[in-house]
């Protein structure tokens, strides 16, 4: 019972968890509009864009939760073969160049990484040190739930705007049609007035 109470009070004891949830909701709202990446929200590649963003968020969370373990295993793999070292270097340079070409994606990854590191510091402050795998699982769940919530809010907002836009355009089109009819009626009247004066 005490552990359950401490778990429920964890967001109050470590408020950076609430910050991470807010950042996740913001990123979910931001991922709704992939026009910065050259895609339209209604395009067939929109689900692929969403999956790529979620995978990127998971990679950032896992790397920030256990950087020493991952770097140690990565260095062991690189030390095993020179070919693997060359391939890994080429991949790192290519991925880094793609991130530099799309600075908005890089800024989102940096914001998420900073939030995860702040959560880790806050947990250290309250002397709570779960296993790296358990911490990564917990923070990944917070990030995915928050991003999904932001994604749903963003799609609902865009659908509302799309529903309002046709009505607004229809209301604007009516005065134009009426003005054209008035002009045509005016020309017809002038022609009828000039017709008896012609003989």
Rounded Cα gap, residues 89 and 99, in angstroms: 15
Rounded Cα gap, residues 14 and 126, in angstroms: 7
Q: pTM, whole model, 2 decimals? A: 0.68
Task: Give the pLDDT confidence of 94-141 residue by residue, as tens digits.
Answer: 888 887 777 777 888 899 999 999 999 988 888 888 888 899 999 999
Contact 61, 140 (CB under 8 A): yes
Task: Give the pLDDT confidence of 30-89 residue by residue, as tens digits.
Answer: 776 544 444 444 456 677 888 888 898 999 999 999 888 888 888 888 888 888 888 888
Q: Taking the domains of the chain in order of start, what are their residue ranges? A: 15-151
């Amino acid at each position: 019972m005490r552990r359950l109470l401490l778990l429920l009070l964890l967001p109050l004891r470590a408020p950076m968890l609430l910050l991470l949830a807010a950042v996740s909701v913001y990123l979910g709202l931001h991922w709704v509009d992939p026009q910065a990446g050259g895609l339209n929200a209604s395009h067939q590649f929109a689900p692929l864009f969403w999956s790529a963003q979620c995978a990127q968020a998971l990679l950032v969370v896992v790397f920030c939760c256990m950087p020493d373990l991952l770097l140690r295993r990565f260095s062991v793999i690189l030390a095993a073969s020179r070919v693997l070292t060359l391939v890994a270097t080429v991949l790192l340079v290519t991925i880094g160049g793609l991130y530099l070409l799309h600075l908005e994606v890089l800024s989102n990854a940096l914001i998420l990484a900073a939030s995860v590191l702040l959560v880790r510091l806050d947990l250290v402050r309250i002397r709570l040190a779960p296993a790296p795998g358990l911490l990564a699982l917990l923070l990944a769940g917070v990030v995915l739930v928050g991003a999904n919530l932001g994604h749903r809010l963003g799609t609902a907002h865009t659908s509302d705007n799309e529903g309002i836009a046709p009505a607004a355009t229809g209301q604007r089109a009516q005065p134009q049609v009426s003005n054209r009819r008035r002009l045509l009626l005016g020309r017809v009247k002038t022609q009828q007035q000039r017709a008896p004066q012609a003989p």
